Structure 1
Amino acid sequence: MPYAVIRGACPNCEDAISSERLELGLPCKRCLPSSTIEHNVMEKLEDRVEYVWKKLLSEGTLRKFNEVYRLNAELSDFLKFFENVTGKTPWSAQRTWAKRIIRGESFAIIAPTGVGKTTFLIVYSIYHAVKGRGRVYFIVPTRVLLRQVYSKILEIVNTNNLNVKVLALDRQLLGKSKLLESMSGGTFDILVSTAAQLSKNFSVIAKHKFSLIIVDDVDALLRNSRNVDRVLQLIGFSKDIVDKAYRVVLSKVELLRLLLSNAPQDLIEKKKKEITEIKGEIENFMRNHEIGQVIVSSATGRSRGLRSKIFRELLNFEAGTVIEYMRNIVDVYVDLGIDYKRQILDLVKTLGPGGLVFVSQDFGLKVAKELTTYLIENGVKASLASSSRRGFIEKFSSGKVDVLVGVASYYGVIVRGLDLPDKVRYALFLGVPKFQLALDKGLNNPLKILSMLLVLSDVVDGEDKEKVNEYANKLRKIIEKLSYREYRLLIKALREDIVLEGFLEKVRQFLAEVKEYILSKINIEKIRRKVKESKILLLREVKNNLYIVTPDIMTYIQASGRTSRMFANGMTKGLSIIIVDDRRVFEALCKQLAYYIDGFSIKHINEVDLGKILEEIDRDRAYVR
């Protein structure tokens, strides 16, 4: 007796099949009787797909398994191509991605930094072009990464003498006139550009249809939500269909609000019917049009804004999700000294070359420039890394520069896309990576207003406490009733002082009243002092102005991740040192990192053996080289 019989699971006829047959990679008994199978031969085969295909062909029962055979043959062909052009065997995750992309799926690759996402996507884009399956559009977050990807594609194409034309939207590489001529004429198989260039040059790019669009770092693409629409139009969707998909997204949000508010059943059914009708129009369009693929990758899995949900409605995948992060990094901290420049100089001299120094955004680019100058004056081969400068990556890679100094911004030029596993050894953070927003601007958000009311409730008493609690209770009820669109509209109205209509105008006036009340109370010294000690909302005072502060965990993960990349023996060892300027923000950062990174721990610099750590770091770099 079989352990189980599964209906509709036969890979050939889609009828019932036993679990034993599925485990052996066989179709059901009706398609391939046991008497026809040479078990002693089949058991010795690593790949049984071809054997089963031939047997089904000879029996005259070959049906759906033909597609299994085709996909398996193409997978083998791509894996050989990958090994030939890189000299490496794809690891398990890359093989899984290959299976999905060969099946024609659009999907998101959510994986940590340094595990080979970009390498895989580069190789597959070339393979796609070599096979003549249409144009490929490769979208990257920064110009630095654009040049790295373009150079890598050209290197593979030229080394292997492949007939693939590659175009990068970079005037410095090609010249303005020749670039426009190549774009307009479509004399390319693979186009490489930044997400910003997609927005700027869409009218020219849209003259061409793409069968495959690769978005290396979906986070950068989603900075401009309209880029979602642009990408979908480039693979064959009409603007009308994209707009309808967005209506489905909004209608689902509205349906959820109706369900949560126990709305009348007829309203709920009406909304469901509306969604079904629009989805029917979308499905009809897709049946009658050839649609390309979209592959997006991300290290963070962040999916910002409702427009990103259009991917789910049209291509059946989510652009992001929460993940755990693979890394092999020793996380260390030390408190900020009186002379932070000298402190960093001493650390750099101890740690040696291969360093990235990230200056917290509240210190700013000015401090990064001053620090770079100070390091150079004291004998360190350092260079400032900023979007306005050129050549620093090449100098760092060649050894002409030992240390790069940049601002710890999520889209910073050395935070994202810098893939030099043999060069980058450690990261230093001057100040805890953080976001800092002036309190008066932060209070343009209803939820931030509610949080601030909760802070005040703990520090005021008497009539003030009653008033604060009354405001908070009323605001909670308002927020519960607001739709997503209404919420965003209120933020815009508060920020830009726009007068609304009806119920929303009453809410805007109420929020403005509460905001003014909060700011008036904050100006009272006694209250101000207590507010700064709150654990509900992190607040800090800079030059008599209060700021809402939140730790920037994604920038820390991305920036420190430059020190730990995948290679043949696993993940290279890295070192990350935070010079702590604010203990409360640091503790909040560590708390949140423990959620994203399994087993995360951080030690004081006096608790670790830097010499031993550096030995392990250098051993891994020797393997990589």
Structure 2
Amino acid sequence: MLIYEDLCPICGKDLSFEEIEKGICLTEKKKICEELGFEFESFFEKCVAPLREIQRMWAKRILRGESFSLVAPTGIGKTSFGLSMALFLATKGKKSYVIFPTSLLVKQAVSTLKLFAEKLKLDAGFNEIKNISIGFYYSEVKKDEFVENLRNFDIIITTSQFLAKNFEMLKDFRFHFIFVDDVDAVLKSSKNVDRILQVLAREEKGVLVVSTATAKVGRKAELFRKVLNFSIGSSQFYLRNIEDVIANGASLGEILTKLGKGGIIYARSIEECEKLYENLKDFRVGIVTSKDSKDFELFLKGEIDHLIGTAHHYGALVRGIDLPEKVRFAVFIGCPVHGIKVEDIDRVSPSMLKILAHLYRDDERIEKFIPKLRFVEKVSEELRKALKEVMTEKEVLVKDAVVRKGEIIFPDVRTYLQASGRTSRLTVSGLTKGASFVFESDEEILRAFIERAKIFDLSFKSFSEIDLERLRKEIDESREVRREVKLIKPALFIVESPTKAKQIARFFGKPGIRFIDSVPVYEVPTENYLLLITATLGHITDLVTNRGFHGVEGFTPIYTTIKRCKNCGTQFTESTCPKCKGNEFEDSR
């Protein structure tokens, strides 16, 4: 039992432990923390579903005019949230700019907004002027018509590539809300950060929200921190319900036949995609690339059963689709990888140079550079020359990579997670089930891929363990039956020291950071919570000195806020300074 003196937020009197437990002020019979509804909540429910706790927190931040990094696992509903917020703000006369990494996602966003507008009975025009005007552009849209109405659109939707190539058209615009659906793609061009900050209506408390699940952030993104008080983090957790299967020895035709429609087949190159297309014509397949997405439209209409695309980090079918009802399983013809050959050494980044140096650190020609890697730019030229020599001559045994003479192959598990994640998405009915099959003939690559996947808590079954008929039934049922799913929720974690807050946040991944009155708040997703970790910068309360015996009545301690006198610097808990009797003080309240 305890009492907090004069700290009840309802009546301003003592707050007892009983009141804290019940959440009720016993003096005025009112809830201490009552969640008040707000207009966007009902708006979102009509568009999508009731707001989840994490989405409610995001909405409140935006409506308060706070910019932030929206760090959450894939499949949590970030895109639907961003689109509905842009539409909501459009009804309030505020302009929004939504940026996607691929044309396919622009198309899907337009379809989603059409559905939202229909549900809300809004008079919305798409690339035409109506009560709410939504402009969108990708390669198949007539650019002249889009540009002609550009200034009249309430919401503009483009790819990050459009932003980079056509910034002259946008540079004089000022948007109240900018939503970047995949900040990784934006950061590929360092100038995009400057461009986004230029068109954000900062003088009118314009809000920038960047969404990411796997961002690798460069120095340019530090501008977000300097200008808008936040930095970008990334998630180590993935919301997925997927059977991961090593399918060596199985038949691709058998998988397509028994699992039915809705497969995405990933290959390592366009050439391999074209070969697969020729060999699988009997299965009604189509090819989708960044330059040609006609077959994607046929897939949406049900005229094609499966799609083929490349397994690259920015591939059109890796990040470019969000169709939980249609996409049911994935097949990888070869593990996603990225390789470095001797001839690439002159072009690799300083961070990759460090990785390569550590791989060959046992060679005396490389060993001497290890202590200097902190300042790798200064020894870059010599190190590159030494690496070329060593790579040409040596093979090295590494658990989670393949090091051969003249080449190093790194498993690309992040791309695998992004691509296979298309098969399992969070919907109103719950988390859909998907399946992912990997064919890999190179045993060394397969071994390294499985080893690297362990870092992400991925484990693979063999094909012999899978009953395809049963799996198909589970995949179908997950899209038909409404199920409860344990959703990530925000949780506040308070410690005393900012250093400790930073250390704890880093246990769970790379945290995003927001600054509130210059105090850092670290945000990092865990399996069940979005942790907001911050520090009090010292004690907040202490025992009172004017009640009971040194602040204890019977066995009940009585706490109140700590004050510091502005005149003499004395720290105390009473209502006036006991030393100089001054009434001007700082209060930890």
Taking structure 1 as the reference length, the TM-score comes to 0.69
Cα pair 2:247 2:462 within 8 Å, conserved: yes
Alpha-carbon distance in 1 for matches of 2:371, 2:332? 42
1:539 and 2:403 aligned:
yes
3-state DSSP of counterpart to 2:327: coil
Cα pair 1:109 1:298 within 8 Å, conserved: yes
Cα pair 1:453 1:518 within 8 Å, conserved: no
Q: Which residue of 2 aligns with 1:417?
A: 320
Q: Which residue of 2 aligns with 1:243?
A: none
Q: Which residue of 1 aligns with 2:539?
A: none
3-state DSSP of counterpart to 1:223: coil
Q: Which residue of 2 aligns with 1:187?
A: 152
1:192-591 equivalence runs, <5 A: 192-236=157-201, 289-300=203-214, 302-335=215-248, 343-360=251-268, 364-376=269-281, 379-442=282-345, 445=348, 468-469=363-364, 471-482=365-376, 487=377, 504=378, 507-518=379-390, 522-523=392-393, 528=394, 531=395, 533-535=397-399, 538-540=402-404, 546-591=406-451
1:613 and 2:471 aligned:
yes
1:129 and 2:94 aligned:
no
3-state DSSP of counterpart to 1:165: strand
Deviations 1:400-441 (A, max 9, x none): 111101110111111113111111111000001100121331
Alpha-carbon distance in 2 for matches of 1:382, 1:178? 33
- Give the residue type in structure 2 aligned to 1:601: S
- Give the residue type in structure 1 aligned to 2:336: P
Cα distance change on mapping 1:532 and 1:581 into 2, 3 Å: farther
Alpha-carbon distance in 1 for matches of 2:72, 2:98? 18
Alpha-carbon distance in 1 for matches of 2:9, 2:314? 48
Cα distance change on mapping 1:371 and 1:11 into 2, 3 Å: farther
Cα pair 1:332 1:603 within 8 Å, conserved: yes
3-state DSSP of counterpart to 1:104: coil
Q: Which residue of 2 aligns with 1:149?
A: 109
Cα pair 2:262 2:326 within 8 Å, conserved: yes
- Give the residue type in structure 1 aligned to 2:145: K
Q: Which residue of 2 aligns with 1:251?
A: none
Give the alignment partner of residue 134 of structure 2, picking from 142, 158, 166: 166
3-state DSSP of counterpart to 2:243: strand
For structure 2, which runs of at least 5 residues remain unmatched after alignment? 124-130, 483-589
Alpha-carbon distance in 2 for matches of 1:401, 1:197? 29
Alpha-carbon distance in 2 for matches of 1:424, 1:107? 31
Deviations 1:211-253 (A, max 9, x none): 110011111111112111111111146xxxxxxxxxxxxxxxx
Alpha-carbon distance in 2 for matches of 1:457, 1:48? 59
1:2-21 equivalence runs, <5 A: 2-4=2-4
Cα distance change on mapping 1:16 and 1:596 into 2, 3 Å: farther
Alpha-carbon distance in 1 for matches of 2:309, 2:474? 26
Alpha-carbon distance in 2 for matches of 1:303, 1:453? 21
Taking structure 2 as the reference length, the TM-score comes to 0.73
Cα distance change on mapping 1:596 and 1:451 into 2, 3 Å: closer
Alpha-carbon distance in 1 for matches of 2:388, 2:238? 42
- Give the residue type in structure 2 aligned to 1:511: L
1:1-40 equivalence runs, <5 A: 2-4=2-4, 35=27, 37=28, 39=29
TM-superposed deviation, 1:151: 2.5
- Give the residue type in structure 1 aligned to 2:114: L
Cα pair 1:442 1:548 within 8 Å, conserved: no
Cα distance change on mapping 1:586 and 1:235 into 2, 3 Å: same
Alpha-carbon distance in 2 for matches of 1:295, 1:90? 18
Cα distance change on mapping 1:112 and 1:12 into 2, 3 Å: farther
- Give the residue type in structure 1 aligned to 2:2: P
Alpha-carbon distance in 1 for matches of 2:200, 2:352? 40
TM-superposed deviation, 1:383: 0.4
Cα distance change on mapping 1:3 and 1:381 into 2, 3 Å: farther
Cα distance change on mapping 1:408 and 1:581 into 2, 3 Å: same
- Larger strand proportion of the pair: 2
Q: Which residue of 1 aligns with 2:73?
A: 112
Deviations 1:10-61 (A, max 9, x none): 5999x9976766666679xxxxxx65x1x2xx46x9x846xxxxxxxxxxxx
Q: Which residue of 2 aligns with 1:601?
A: 459
TM-superposed deviation, 1:607: 1.5
Cα pair 1:209 1:236 within 8 Å, conserved: yes
- Give the residue type in structure 2 aligned to 1:191: I
Alpha-carbon distance in 1 for matches of 2:389, 2:433? 52
3-state DSSP of counterpart to 2:144: helix
Q: Which residue of 2 aligns with 1:280?
A: none
Cα distance change on mapping 1:124 and 1:443 into 2, 3 Å: same
Cα pair 1:213 1:293 within 8 Å, conserved: yes
3-state DSSP of counterpart to 2:418: helix
3-state DSSP of counterpart to 1:575: strand
Alpha-carbon distance in 1 for matches of 2:6, 2:242? 45
TM-superposed deviation, 1:358: 0.5
Alpha-carbon distance in 1 for matches of 2:446, 2:210? 32
Deviations 1:310-347 (A, max 9, x none): 2122222222223211110011002268xxxxx32332
TM-superposed deviation, 1:473: 4.1
Cα distance change on mapping 1:229 and 1:24 into 2, 3 Å: farther
TM-superposed deviation, 1:352: 1.9
Cα pair 1:432 1:581 within 8 Å, conserved: no
Point out the more displaced range, 161-170 or 606-615.
161-170
Alpha-carbon distance in 1 for matches of 2:146, 2:83? 21
Alpha-carbon distance in 2 for matches of 1:447, 1:212? 34
- Give the residue type in structure 2 aligned to 1:369: E
3-state DSSP of counterpart to 2:330: strand
Cα distance change on mapping 1:304 and 1:2 into 2, 3 Å: same
- Give the residue type in structure 2 aligned to 1:373: E
Q: Which residue of 2 aligns with 1:241?
A: none
- Give the residue type in structure 2 aligned to 1:408: A
Alpha-carbon distance in 2 for matches of 1:536, 1:552? 10
TM-superposed deviation, 1:130: 0.5
- Give the residue type in structure 2 aligned to 1:417: G
- Larger helix proportion of the pair: 1
Point out the more displaced range, 424-433 or 219-228.
219-228
- Give the residue type in structure 2 aligned to 1:228: V
Cα pair 1:136 1:189 within 8 Å, conserved: yes
Cα distance change on mapping 1:534 and 1:166 into 2, 3 Å: closer
Q: Which residue of 1 aligns with 2:486?
A: none
Q: Which residue of 2 aligns with 1:255?
A: none
Alpha-carbon distance in 2 for matches of 1:536, 1:614? 32
TM-superposed deviation, 1:602: 0.9
3-state DSSP of counterpart to 1:179: helix
TM-superposed deviation, 1:537: 5.3
